Amino acid sequence: LRLYIMKGIYASRHRMSKFKSIWRTTGPNETIQLPVSALYVIDWGDGIETSTETSHEYAIAGDYTIKITGVITDFVFNNSGDKLKILEVQQFGGMTEIKSASNGNSSLVYNPSINLLDTSLTQNMIGVFQGDSLFNNSIGNWVLSDCITISAILRETSIFNQNLDSWDVSNVTDTSTAF
């Protein structure tokens, strides 16, 4: 996942919402490293909360729901790191920039509520689902009226077949390799 959020606009125009996701550890004392820079509180899903640590060790293997509350300014896997440990994104929260959200992780599942993602302040959506060959969720309700870039948003999503007719792309100036 590579997600960028501009903190000033987000904090002033949205209530602090959560980025909620499910991660899996497969062995005892395994660490999950979140590739995040943010003003946040992380609930690691095992009774521990932190506001300065971006990695956490789990005593036992299992699936953990991690919630990040606050303003995420940078969430970058860059096609490496713990990208295969994230199983599902259940909630995004408000964002002003989203880049390379799945970045080639075809095992990542998006909650059906992704169609309700608040994109009203989103200005740039670059490679959001690029390389996710199994992505076929409905995203037709996204509000893109303030968006200026949707380059590579669905590039290499070989089975994507959803209706996008309701997207207002009147302000979009860059659609390079969008599909």
Q: Give the model confidence (pLDDT) of 20-72 as tens digits.
A: 889 999 999 999 998 776 667 899 999 999 988 889 999 999 999 999 887 66
- Is residue 2's pLDDT more than 60? no
Q: Which of the two residues, 131 and 43, has the higher pLDDT score?
A: 43
Report yes or no on whether pTM surpasses 0.75.
no
Kindly write down the DSSP assignment for every residue of the chain, as one continuous string.
-EEE--HHHHHHHS---EEEEEEEE-STTEEEE--EEEEEEEE-SSS-EESS-SEEEESS-EEEEEEEEEEEEEEE-TT-TTTTTEEEEEE----SEEE-SSTT-TT-EE-GGGGG---TT--EEESTTTT-TT-----TT---TT--B-TTTTTT-TT-----TT---TT--B-TT--
Q: Give the model confidence (pLDDT) of 92-118 as tens digits.
A: 665 555 666 665 566 666 766 677 766
